[in-house]
């Protein structure tokens, strides 16, 4: 009887440990790349159609969400696509912008000034996310220009890369 109870407990603990991130809460300490991979694979998802110019760009500010951005033809060049979306930083921090494809990305602040991308790197944690671009943002609204590229859609996940006094 004791053996059966111990075996049942062991099976329960093993299945819980092996169940992965499907039902995880965001209190677990995953790195930003693991979070981006999870959301790009499993969602939740938000579809956004980018604009061809910065004016009127839609918001891509969705916490813990893979934003699937449909790009539009770039001007008179129907072989290249581009897209503008906005991101609202609610606190000053370093943010990681994860993209599903290796495409050019630029970030500008509300005044149109370029924001330096501090670091860009390939993402090795999964095949669904290709690039990570980190930038220090202050509180405010930023515009992201994605492209030009031959891609017609890209997924974007934004995670806080660092926070004063805590990891993600």
The confidence score (pLDDT) of residue 129 equals 79
The confidence score (pLDDT) of residue 20 equals 38
Structural domains in the chain plus CATH codes: 30-162 (2.60.120.380)
Q: Is 55 exposed, middle or buried (0-12, 13-18, 19+ CB in 10 A)?
A: exposed
Q: Report the sign of the C-alpha dihedral through residues 87, 88, 92, 93, in that order.
A: negative
The confidence score (pLDDT) of residue 11 equals 36
H/E element holding 9? helix 2-18
* Residue with tokens 């075996």, as numbered in its chain: 7
Q: Which residues of the chain have pLDDT under 50?
A: 1-27, 163-168
* Residue with tokens 């959301």, as numbered in its chain: 39
Taking alpha carbons only, the member of 138, 158, 136 closest to residue 146 is 158
The confidence score (pLDDT) of residue 30 equals 67
In this prediction the pTM is 0.76
150 in helix, strand or coil?
A: coil
- For residues 106-131, one letter each, b for 16 or more C-beta atoms within 10 angstroms of the residue's C-beta and e for the rest, the string is ebeeeeeeebeeeeeeebebeebbbb
Q: Are 98 and 89 in contact (CB under 8 A)?
A: no
**Both structure tokens of 12:** 């329960």
H/E element holding 98? strand 93-99
The confidence score (pLDDT) of residue 146 equals 95
The confidence score (pLDDT) of residue 137 equals 95
16 in helix, strand or coil?
A: helix
**Both structure tokens of 134:** 């980190």
**Both structure tokens of 17:** 């440990």
The confidence score (pLDDT) of residue 160 equals 87
């Amino acid at each position: 009887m004791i053996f059966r109870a111990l075996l049942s407990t062991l099976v329960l603990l093993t299945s819980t440990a092996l169940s992965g991130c499907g039902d995880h809460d965001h209190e677990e300490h995953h790195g930003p790349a693991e979070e981006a991979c999870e959301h790009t694979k499993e969602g939740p998802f938000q579809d956004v159609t980018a604009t061809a110019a910065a004016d009127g760009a839609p918001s891509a500010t969705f916490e813990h969400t893979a934003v699937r951005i449909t790009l539009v033809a770039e001007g008179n060049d129907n072989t290249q696509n581009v897209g503008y979306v906005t991101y609202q930083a609610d606190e000053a921090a370093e943010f990681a912008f994860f993209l599903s494809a290796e495409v050019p990305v630029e970030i500008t602040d509300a005044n149109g000034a370029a924001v330096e991308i501090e670091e860009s790197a390939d993402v090795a944690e999964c095949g669904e996310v290709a690039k990570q671009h980190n930038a220090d943002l202050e509180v405010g609204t930023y515009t992201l220009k994605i492209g030009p590229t031959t891609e017609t859609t890209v997924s974007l996940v934004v995670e806080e890369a660092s926070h004063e006094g805590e990891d993600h």
